[in-house]
Amino acid sequence: MTKPRLLLVDDDKNTLDGLIKILSRDGFPVSGVLSAYDALDLISRENFDIVLTDMKMPGMGGLSLIHEVRKRELPVAIVVITAYSSEKTAAEAAKCGADYYLKKPVNIEEMEFVIGKLWEKQQLIIQNSVVKEPLNERRKVSALNSSKVIRQSDKEEGQGMNKFR
């Protein structure tokens, strides 16, 4: 199975470089940027399957980035990674549209597990939409044919009524 295209967003260059190195070594196509603004710029030019973003960053933070990505209605999963973890911040991230929440320091095995599960979910959604497309077309054709039959039946009934008048 192919691996998802990842975008990492973290204002800490060492953390960003380390995660890029590990994920690249593990076969993930990965890009990284140091700010949410750079992430939005890159997202407007390239497609990503999963965005992993730090929550606290100067300028635009991770929650604002999530809002902006969700406003664009992009089919991308979002994982928030933060050192400032609490139930409140996890709930905030979920309300903004994050699909998952990880605590720093990041456990690489856990992160790759989460990436895998989100990718599986996205693939199922895509497969489901591919299956639904022909079904929706068949339903449209079936509905169209049904309405023709009903109209024809109405005409025949109307003609039959005229015979008895």
Domains and CATH numbers, the chain: 6-126 (3.40.50.2300)
The residues, any chain, with a CB within 8 Å of residue 114's CB and separated by 6 or more, are 79, 100, 102
Q: What is the mean pLDDT of residues 59-74?
A: 93
Output the pTM of the full model. 0.77
Q: Over range 86-106, report the average pLDDT.
A: 89
pLDDT value at position 85? Answer: 73
Amino acid at 104: K
Tokens of 44: 């407007």
Q: Which residues pair with 80 in a beta bridge?
A: 53, 101
**pLDDT at site 120:** 94
